[in-house]
Amino acid sequence: MDKKKVAVPLVCHGHSRPVVDLFYSPVTPDGFFLISASKDSSPMLRNGETGDWIGTFEGHKGAVWSCCLDTNALRAASGSADFTAKIWDALTGDELHSFEHKHIVRACAFSEDTQFLLTGGIEKVLRIFDLNRPDAAPREVDYSPGSVRTVAWLHGDQTILSSCTDIGGVRLWDVRSGKIVQTLETKSPVTSAEVSQDGRYITTADGSSVKFWDANHYGLVRSYDMPCTVESASLEPKFGNKFIAGGEDMWIRLFDFHTGEEIACNKGHHGPVHCVRFSPGGESYASGSEDGTIRIWQTGPLTHDDGEAIPTNGASGKLKVNVDEVTQKIEGFQVSKDKKAEEKEESTDV
């Protein structure tokens, strides 16, 4: 009797609390990289292709809600419940700067030209920090109508978008004037907003719906109802013909962009899926979950006769690294110390 073939992900261990954000770098001369944010307060950098751990950024004192890498994957940024956004050297793991806020930072994003960092959070203020003058006061964009959940840059850094935790819609702001120029209307709060690699689409997840918007004219291009409440969605970057979504039912589904038909359903997480992202070449995609793991799934025909996951060079306790498989990015990167994560973040985990 034939066993049904199921996809086998690479499983990346290391976080001791839920994984709440993932971000892939573009392809660089050293390959591409994956950074993850977790409520354990320690963002982690990995080889984007193999999932192998490269290093851990140590310094936050509360849950980390957001993380990103700049265009060249030379710097990382993170936003935290400790009321700071931090900039890190992605080669050494050193903290380069800490930007103080008055409340929890839920979202951060590097500008495409890597000169600025955009942040948002519970304060309902969007801030733009000039990374060439990190000690200067940030520019504050017009007050957001709600607590900020997601932020992103588009249109060659001429426009920024944000969504809110407590009200529906995505607002687009003109950077020059600091005013809202358009609102993409949704029934539920938008928990994930992604600008496609070619700049054509904005992919949003709200409630049990995934929507695709024209990033230039702001019209709704596609809207698909999902089988459950989804927290995150991502469009395949190379051909734009598939998308993924993950949410409360713990499964990661792959869909046809043009028809909305489900192509694959990947099971393996043991808790709700908080974030999904395609790799920059579209050959794989990653998911982060309440269960504290990251799973990297192959988009293509990679199958296996049973559902046992393939563990990667994980991180547990003292972190190890396979020198042969990691680029020069590992050199000088501080190794994570054993953490008392449960004790130190309860006061700031929201």
User: Alpha-carbon distance 32 to 30, whole Å?
Assistant: 7
Residue 6 included in any domain: no
Instruction: Measure the N-to-C terminal CA separation of the chain; round to a whole number of Å.
Output: 49
pLDDT at 157 over 90: yes
Radius of gyration of the chain (CA): 19
Q: What is the DSSP letter of 28?
A: B
Position 93 scores a pLDDT of 97
Buried b (16+ CB within 10 A) or exposed e, 253-273: bbbebeeeeeeeebebbeebb
- CATH (domain of 255): 2.130.10.10
Q: pLDDT tens across 107-122, in order?
A: 999 999 999 999 999 9
Number of domains in the chain: 1
Percent of the chain at pLDDT > 90 equals: 82
Average pLDDT over residues 310-326: 40
Please give the structure tokens belonging to residue 134. 């990190």
Judge whether 33 lies within some domain: yes
pLDDT at 39 over 80: yes
Q: What is the mean pLDDT of residues 135-150?
A: 94
Q: Residue 132: give the domain boundaries.
A: 11-298
Residue 227 lies in a domain: yes
* Residue 82 pLDDT grade (very low, low, confident, very high; cuts 50, 70, 90): very high
More confident residue, 218 or 303: 218
Query: What pLDDT is stored for residue 7 in this prediction?
Result: 77
Tell me, what's the pLDDT at 92? 97
Q: What is the mean pLDDT of residues 22-32?
A: 97
Number of Cβ within 10 Å of residue 331's Cβ equals 10
Neighbour-count burial for 167-205, b at 16+ CB within 10 Å, e otherwise: bbbbbbbbbeeeeeebebebeebbbbbbbbbeeebbbbb
For residue 346, tell me if it sits in a domain. Answer: no
Q: Is residue 344 part of a domain?
A: no
Q: Which of 24, 53, 56 is nearest to 40 (CA)?
A: 56
Taking 60 as the threshold, does the pLDDT of residue 148 lie above it?
Answer: yes
As a whole number of angstroms, the distance between CA 258 and CA 232 comes to: 19
CB 10 within 8 A of CB 264: no
- Sheet arrangement for strand 252-256: 230-235, 242-247, 252-256, 262-266
Q: What is the reported pLDDT for 266?
A: 96
Average pLDDT over residues 287-309: 74
Q: What is the mean pLDDT of the chain?
A: 88
Q: Which residue has the higher pLDDT, 300 or 306?
A: 300
Sign of the torsion angle spanned by Cα atoms 172, 159, 277, 104 = negative
Q: Decide: 58 and 93 in contact? Cβ < 8 Å.
A: yes
Q: Is residue 188 part of a domain?
A: yes
Q: Give the pLDDT band of residue 333 (cuts 50, 70, 90).
A: low
Q: Tell me the pLDDT band of 1, cut-offs 50, 70 and 90.
A: very low
Per-residue model confidence (pLDDT) at position 142: 80
Diameter of the chain by CA atoms?
Answer: 68
Other beta carbons within 10 angstroms of residue 55's beta carbon come to 26
Specify the range with the lowest mean pLDDT, choosing from 92-106, 108-122, 155-169, 324-338.
324-338
- State residue 5's pLDDT score: 58
The pTM of the full predicted model, rounded to 2 decimals, is 0.86
pLDDT digits over 170-195, tens only? 999 999 999 999 999 999 999 999 99
Q: What Cα–Cα distance (Å) separates residue 43 from each residue in 71, 210, 226?
A: 18, 27, 30
Q: How confident is the model at residue 143 (pLDDT cuts 50, 70, 90)?
A: confident
Percent of the chain with pLDDT over 70: 84
- Nearest-angstrom CA–CA distance, 205 and 311: 29
Task: Tell me the sheet residues that pair with 133.
Answer: none
Conformational region of residue 145, where left means phi above 0, alpha means psi within -120 to 50, and beta covers everything else = alpha
Structure confidence at residue 350 as a pLDDT band (50, 70, 90): low
Q: What is the pLDDT of residue 300?
A: 73
Query: Does residue 268 form part of some domain?
Result: yes
